[in-house]
């Protein structure tokens, strides 16, 4: 019977994500707990539970997200396979059901984890993004979500800690940001280095227009000088843009 009681506890924590599964398992397990349950019924319901557990695992363990279910004391109730592998890889520890979550995560993230857990246990869903330094000294970016886990009577029985690796997304965002900065820089340079000589040419043309398009030698020499400056500035900007693009490509490889 103890085995089924334990199953009920885990089942309650999973209720948030799999309500239909939760209802069926709860109903069937409670029938098993009755003293007059016969062997035939036990066999049938055990098979039923095993089938449902298989379906549950297929969803829970095939997810690319990392799920850890905690009780109200922040002890581990359950986790999916992805979480087990991840904690082992990042922090070199194997998670154990019943132990406190902080025993298995990076000490530097304790404050964030505790704060998120507290809020979830008070009924609030918390989402945040953080960078984490791992065993190999590499930094990875993560999206964390702390959600309250409720039973059918909507009592908060614990919480679900969900983590998603967003390192690639963050790298892409940084790349886009870098490209925007390059564009802004080029735009700024163009305003002065390109538009400047163009404005000078326009100013000279306005003077030539004033003389009924009969320019004196001085205006034409200044036009020539300004056109040379413009040409040189364009070459420099194209060179700068190429250098920046190459630097960005190197940073992101």
Partner 1 sequence: MKREKSHDKINILLVDDHEINNYIHTKVIRKALSGSNIEIVADLNGKQAINHLYHFMDNDPNSFPDYIFLDLNMPEMNGWQFLDEYTRRKLGAVKDSKVFITTSSVFSEDVDKSHSYACVKDYITKPLTIERVQSIITA
Selected from 23, 50, 179, 188, the binder of partner 1 by CB under 8 A is 188
Minimal distance, residue 191 CB to partner 1, in Å: 5
For the stretch 200-237, what's the b/e string if a residue is b when 16 or more beta carbons lie within 10 angstroms of its beta carbon?
bbeebeeebeeeeeebeeeeeebbeebeeebeebeeeb
Q: Does 196 bind partner 1 (CB under 8 A)?
A: yes
Q: Does 180 bind partner 1 (CB under 8 A)?
A: no
> Structure tokens of 109?
């993230």
Q: Does 225 bind partner 1 (CB under 8 A)?
A: yes
Minimal distance, residue 209 CB to partner 1, in Å: 10
Selected from 206, 212, 217, 250, the binder of partner 1 by CB under 8 A is 206
Stretch that binds partner 1, among 4-12, 68-76, 197-205, 236-244 (CB under 8 A): 197-205
Contact (Cβ atoms closer than 8 angstroms) between residue 97 and residue 117: no
CA distance linking residue 241 with residue 247, whole number of Å: 10
What is the CB neighbour count within 10 angstroms for residue 131? Answer: 12
Residue closer to partner 1 by CB (options 207, 238) is 207
Selected from 198, 227, 238, 249, the binder of partner 1 by CB under 8 A is 198
Q: Does 216 bind partner 1 (CB under 8 A)?
A: no
**Cα distances (angstroms) measured from residue 54 to each of 51, 65, 139:** 5, 19, 35
Q: What is the DSSP string of 203-232?
A: HHHHHHHHTTT---HHHHHHHHHHHHHHHH
- Residues in contact with partner 1, total (CB under 8 A)? 17
Site for partner 1, rule CB under 8 A: 188, 191-192, 195-196, 198-200, 202-204, 206-207, 210, 222, 225-226
């Amino acid at each position: 019977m103890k085995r089924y009681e334990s199953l009920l506890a885990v089942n309650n924590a999973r209720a948030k994500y799999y309500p239909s599964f939760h209802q069926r398992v709860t109903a069937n397990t409670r029938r098993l707990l009755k003293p007059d349950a016969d062997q035939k019924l036990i066999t049938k319901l055990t098979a039923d539970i095993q089938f449902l557990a298989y379906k549950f695992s297929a969803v829970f363990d095939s997810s690319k997200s990392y799920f850890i279910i905690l009780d109200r004391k922040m002890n581990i109730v359950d986790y999916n396979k992805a979480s087990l592998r991840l904690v082992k890889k990042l922090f070199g520890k194997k998670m154990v059901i019943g132990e406190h979550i902080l025993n298995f995560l990076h000490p530097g993230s304790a404050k964030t984890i505790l704060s998120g857990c507290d809020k979830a246990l008070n009924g609030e869903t918390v989402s945040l993004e953080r960078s984490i330094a791992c065993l190999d000294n590499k930094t990875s970016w993560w999206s964390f979500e702390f959600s309250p886990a409720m039973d059918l009577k909507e009592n908060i029985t614990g919480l679900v800690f969900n983590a998603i690796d967003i390192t690639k997304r963050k790298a892409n965002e940084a790349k886009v940001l870098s490209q925007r900065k390059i564009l802004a820089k080029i735009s700024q340079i163009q305003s002065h280095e390109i538009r400047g000589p163009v404005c000078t040419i326009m100013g000279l043309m306005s003077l030539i227009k004033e003389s009924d398009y009969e320019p004196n030698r001085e205006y034409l020499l200044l036009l020539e000088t300004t056109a040379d400056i413009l040409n040189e500035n364009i070459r420099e900007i194209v060179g700068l843009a190429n250098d920046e693009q190459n630097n960005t490509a190197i940073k992101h490889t």
